[in-house]
Each structure stands twice: as C-alpha cells, then as structure tokens.
Amino acid sequence: MGLWMRLPCRSLAGKFTVCTSLVLLVTIACFAYVTIEALRGVFLEEAQDDVETLSEIILHTTHLQMLEDNRDVVYKMMDEVGKHKTIGRIRLLDDRGTIRYSTHANEIGRVTDQPADDCQDCHCPEIAESFPPMESRRRVIRDCSGTEILSVTKLIENQPACSAAACHVHPPEARILGALEVQASLHSVGVHADTYRKNVLAFAVSLLLIIVGCLVWLTHHLVVSPVHSLLLHSRKVAQMELDSHVVPTSADELGALAREFNEMTDRLRQARSEYEQLTETLEAKVQERTAEIAQMHSQLVRSEKLASLGKLVAGIAHEINNPLAGILMFATLFAEDRSLPKEMREDARIIVRETQRCAEIVKRLLEFSRNSIPRKKLKSLPVIMDDTLALLEHQAALNEIEILRGYDPMLPEILVDPAQIEQVFVNMVVNACQAMPNGGRLDIAMRADRDRHYLVTTIADNGHGIPREHLPKIFDPFFTTKDHPGTGLTGTGLGLSVSYGIIQNHGGRIGVVSEVGRGTVFTVELPLAASTMLPAGDPPGNLCVTGRNV
C-alpha cells in the first residue's frame, strides 16, 4: 500500500484507478448534464403547457365578450389574470402586430418589437407558404434584468361567428384576427432546475466518491496487495533468499502467479543446493588432486635426491672402506697386544668399536647406493617375512615384544629380490621394536588386494609413534631421532630411505600412519606377479609414500 500511495501514477493500480476515475467522472458528469437538461426541458414543457392552457382559458372565457365587442370586460379579465405573480404580461395583438391591449399599459398602440426572425415564420410570404401556420408560438426571451420569460403566442383565427358579429369589425375573408400573447416568468422553473441540478451534482459527486473508494479498496485487496507480496518475494529471490514463500490469497490469475512463483523458488533452491553440492565435490576433488600432485612432486624430489645421493655415497663409501679396513685391522692388533699397557689396549678397543660403527655406516651407504637393480624371482612374501622374524624373534622376546602374524592363506608368490625385501622387513621390524622399549605388540599381516593388483604387508606396533612434524622426513636419508641423548640408541637414518628405494625399484609403495603414544603402522605394497593378477581394477601405480597421523 505504501508503495502504491507513494507513486500513484507509476503503479499499475494507481494508473488503473486514475483512468477509471476519470472515465467515471466524465460519464457521471455527462449523465448529470443530460439529466439536468432533460428535467429543465420537462419543467419548461410543463410551464409552456400551463401558459398555453391559460391562454386558451383566456380566449375561451373572453370569446363571448369579444363577439359582443365588450372590450372593457375582456381587458378587465386580462388584468385580473395578469396579476398572478407568475404572469409577466398579457397582451392582445391585431393581425398587423399592433398591440391593442397589454397589462403593461405603456405599450398599448405600439407595433410589436419582436425580432424579425421570430415573426418571419408567419409574416414572410415565402416562408409562411411552406410553413403551415401554428395555433401557438412558444419562445423563451430575457427581460432587461436577465430573467427568462416564457412567451406563448396564441393565434386568434377568424370564425364565422366573428365575421357575422354585430360589430362587423372583421371581414369574412380574414384568416387570422390577431394573437393573444401571454408571458410568464420562468424564475420558478429556474429555481426548481437549480435545486435539482444541485441535488444531481451532490448525488453524482457522492456516487463518484463511493465508486472511486470501492475501486481503490478492491484494487488494493485484489491487485495491489497480491502484486506487492509478489514484488517483495521476487526481491528476496533476487537476493537469493530462497526459503521465502508467497501466500496465494485468491484462486484467480494472481493466485496462480503466486503458486508459480513458489514453484519457481523451490526449483531455484533445489538447483542452488545441487550447485553447492557440485561445488563442494569439485573443491574436494581439486584438493584431492592437489594433494596427489604435491605428493608426486615430493616423490620426484625425493627420487632425484636419492639418485644423486646414491652416486655420491657410493664414491665416498668406496674411498672410506679401504682406510677403515686398515684402521680396524691395526686397532684390533693393538687391542689384543698384551705387551701394550692396559689403558692403551682399552683405547684401542674403543677405536675398534667406533671403526666398526663407521664400517657399518659405510656398509649401509653402499647398500643404499646399490639398491637400484633388484634381482627378482618368484618368491613367497610370508616366507621372506618368517625368515626375517627368525633372525629378530629372540631379541624381541627379550624386550617383551609379542609378535603376531596374520597372513591370508593362499597368497601368491610375487616377483621380488628376496634379499632386498628381507632388508626392508628387517629395517621395519627393528624400528618397531625400538619404538617399544618397554615391550609391546607387533602385528604383521599380509593380504592380496586383487582389485589393485598389490600384495599388501602391514607392520603395526603400539610403540611411541612418530610426531606429525617428523612424518614427512622419515624417508629422507640421514633423518633419525635415535641420536638424541637419553634414547640409548644410535641410528644412521638410512634404514627407511634404503627401504624406500628398494620398494620403489620393485614398483611398489610404502605408506605410514602413526599417532604419538599409540603406535605406528607401515604398509608395504608390492605388485602381484602378472600371472596372479585378476583382469579387473586399476593397473599398479608408481611408488606412493604416504605419511599422516591417525
């Protein structure tokens, strides 16, 4: 309503109401005008009939006196009648237009001053022939004060009794003897017409106001209000507030429009939720792909790093190995030479121990650099694992570590370098045991993932776990946490990087999941041999290393 009130000429309802009101105003004004004019005509007609009747009465009542040429009585009667307040004047004219008698005495004897046009109908010979004489003439004239006067002129025709009268005033051949003119004021007719005009105008204005009021009310309830609701709703929809609904107030076209709007809003809401879902899915996919790309990139970097490092360490190890062998040999000799003082032999033993440690590191470095070409043959992975555990079981038992094995039956043999894979398993089992210094449980499982064409080995411990910030680094060469004082361990940081290289060269993957305080799970995936693969599923992928906290 507010909007409509503010902009009446710009709103549809405003235009409709203004136009309809104008049409109504013109129609009612025309109707009132026609009605007023018609009534005025009726009043005038009545007045004319009254004056004419009066003229006839005068002529009839004076007829006898006229025959007897009793003019005084006739004039007296006219005077009496002329005293009536509505009668302006009564006059008697002869056939030449001379006023023979008038209630206005001053005009007696004068020739009538009627305008020529009014008289021509009877007095102009040319017109009079084609214009049959009338018994009476009616005219409305105005006196000098502007008051309307009705003039009725009644012809006095010659009758046999007139020409035969004793006075012999009129010859028998005369057709018209004269005329009686009665003039009556139309003041009362004007008053009545004015009263009626005022009433009609008041009625017309009231009618107009009522109709316009009804129009405004109906337009507001039937058009403005529903259209306003639709407008508000469409604004909300434009601002993507798709939970709003229009309440259909009627069963007409606007009601149907409101229902269509609601349906359209529902469809828009549905489309938006589908779009949002799609966006979420897309975002998730983009994130997934980005993570994969990042992983592939880090893999590539690591592979390149390992390759160049491999070459470097191979050279260094080779160069160091010979001097180390000499140092070890002479230090052993010194340590066992009883001729030397005890302190010197003790120092020599320290040199032997440390040199052995260096030799171990060099051995590892050589292994790390040599892992590029595996000598593969079909071998059962559970057998390799059992061989590995046979070496370590005793130490594990001493550390109160329980080893549980869960191998799927009927696992196929796969193409591997048994020595290298055993080295991987040794690294992982040793690391797991070292992560459980106070004992624990080591779960080793193997299963075939035939859909993905992998044989999956999991080595799970419930040791101290790997901190989140270390996870991305544990496969880097020389990354170790075992050098920290208080651990009582020494590490080279090459075990996992060597294992990583071995598994990579086998076309497999290593994954790790760890939670500090709860344990670590290493997953080694090695491709099934071609003869053992099922046709379904993805082809084996490149090496993939994952590391995340559980």
**Would you tell me which residues interact with ligand ADP (CB under 6 A)?**
427, 431-432, 435, 461, 463, 466, 474, 479-482, 491-497, 520
Comparison of 177 and 435: residue with beta carbon closer to ligand ADP: 435
The two tokens of residue 83 are 């005293």
The minimum distance between CB 366 and ligand ADP, in angstroms, equals: 16
Distance CA(501)–CA(521), nearest Å, equals 19
Comparison of 255 and 472: residue with beta carbon closer to ligand ADP: 472
CB–CB of 147/187 below 8 Å? yes
Cβ-Cβ contacts under 8 Å for 519 (sequence gap 6 or more) = 435, 440, 460, 461, 462, 463, 465
Comparison of 272 and 518: residue with beta carbon closer to ligand ADP: 518
The minimum distance between CB 468 and ligand ADP, in angstroms, equals: 12
**How many CB atoms neighbour CB 369 within 10 A?**
22
CB–CB of 295/546 below 8 Å? yes
Comparison of 269 and 473: residue with beta carbon closer to ligand ADP: 473
The two tokens of residue 370 are 């040599």
The minimum distance between CB 443 and ligand ADP, in angstroms, equals: 12
The minimum distance between CB 480 and ligand ADP, in angstroms, equals: 3
The minimum distance between CB 238 and ligand ADP, in angstroms, equals: 59
Query: Which H or E element spans position 334?
Result: helix 253-336
Kindly tell me the burial class for residue 438, based on how many C-beta atoms sit within 10 Å of its own C-beta (0-12, 13-18, 19 or more): exposed
The minimum distance between CB 389 and ligand ADP, in angstroms, equals: 15
**How many CB atoms neighbour CB 271 within 10 A?**
11
Distance CA(47)–CA(53), nearest Å, equals 10
Comparison of 154 and 302: residue with beta carbon closer to ligand ADP: 302
The minimum distance between CB 459 and ligand ADP, in angstroms, equals: 8
Comparison of 183 and 423: residue with beta carbon closer to ligand ADP: 423
CB–CB of 282/271 below 8 Å? no
Comparison of 179 and 435: residue with beta carbon closer to ligand ADP: 435
Q: Using the CB atoms, write b or e for 52-67: b if 16+ within 10 Å.
A: bebbbebeeebeebbe
